[in-house]
Structures are given as C-alpha cells and as structure tokens.
Homo-oligomer: A and B are copies of this chain.
Amino acid sequence: MKIGELSQATGVDVETIRYYEKSGLLPAPARQANGYREYGASHLERLAFVRHCRALDLPLAEVQRLLDFVDQPGGDCGDIDQLIDGQLARVRARLTSLQALERQLSTLRARCDSRHELHPCGILAELVSAAHGEACVCHGAGL
C-alpha cells in the first residue's frame, strides 16, 4: 500500500502521515525499490488508532503513551484511566470556559444590531469602555 492509498483508507492527509512518522507515532515503513513507502495492515491499524485518539483530542504525546501500552501490554491500567481522566478534566474545563465566553459574546452582540446610524456602535462602545476598567456587559466589573 502506498502512502496515498493509506491516506485514502484512513482519511488522514498524506503530509500528516509523514508528520506522524517523523514524530515517532508511526514506525518507518519499508521502502519500495523506487523509494516509495510501503505500508501494510499493521500500519493501517496503528494509524486508525492514532486517528481515533486524535478524534478524542488527545495530545500526540498521550497517543504515544497509549501506543506504548498497546505495544507492551501488562502495564498498569490505572495509568490509562488517569490519562483519560486527565483529558476529560481538560475538556470539561475548556467547556466551562467556552460556555462563559458564549454568554459574554451573546450579551455583547445584543448591544448592537446594526440599525443605528447616528449613535456610535454599542459593541465598540462596550469594548472601549472596558479599556477604561469600567464594568462591561461581557465581563462585569473590571476584567
């Protein structure tokens, strides 16, 4: 299987596959006589694994750790739990912060709906007043 075929099969971009190889996530495959990379079923499986972990937004370093577990079973399963727990905690923290951000932007957006021509833009006014340390609709008193 050439790199383009592997790319087709997994939905991972050719450049990204080479990048994973360079990063050590994928083992360097054998080469054909012309220097082209030659992939087999094991590469396909490993790349699918990586892609699945990335879909869970795990950093590449953690994907690497999981791959080590796969390669060398019998490790402490608690480590895997912790890894997933850590990711879950990161995702939940980000979720909370994004929810706050969404409220802030919504409130700010409500300040202006583009049907004023004489008085200045409410959004801009809000943002500027925040620069003075005043309470703003998006962040309340102070920043």
For residue A28, CB closer than 8 A to chain B, the reply is no
One complex includes copies of this chain to the number of 2
Given contacts A46-B131, A81-B113, contact A88 B66 (CB under 8 A): no
Given contacts A91-B102, A94-B98, contact A130 B77 (CB under 8 A): no
CB-defined interface of A89-129 with B at 8 Å, one 1/0 digit per residue?
Answer: 00110110011011011101100111010001101100110
Q: How far is the CA of A133 from the CA of B105 in the complex (A)?
A: 40
Given contacts A91-B101, A120-B73, contact A132 B81 (CB under 8 A): no
Rounded to whole Å, the gap between the CB of A24 and the closest CB of chain B is 18
Complex contacts, A56 vs chain B, CB 8 Å: 101, 104-105, 108, 138
State which of B11, B52, B88 has its C-beta within 8 Å of the C-beta of A102: B88
Complex contacts, A85 vs chain B, CB 8 Å: 109
State which of B11, B57, B84, B102 has its C-beta within 8 Å of the C-beta of A95: B102
Complex contacts, A120 vs chain B, CB 8 Å: 73, 77
Chain B, Cβ-Cβ closest to A94: B98
Complex contacts, A69 vs chain B, CB 8 Å: 121, 124
A-side residues, CB < 8 A to B, are 11, 45-46, 48-49, 51-53, 55-57, 66, 69-70, 73, 77-78, 80-81, 84-85, 87-88, 91-92, 94-95, 98-99, 101-102, 104-106, 108-109, 112-114, 116, 120-121, 123-124, 127-128, 130-133, 136, 138-139, 143
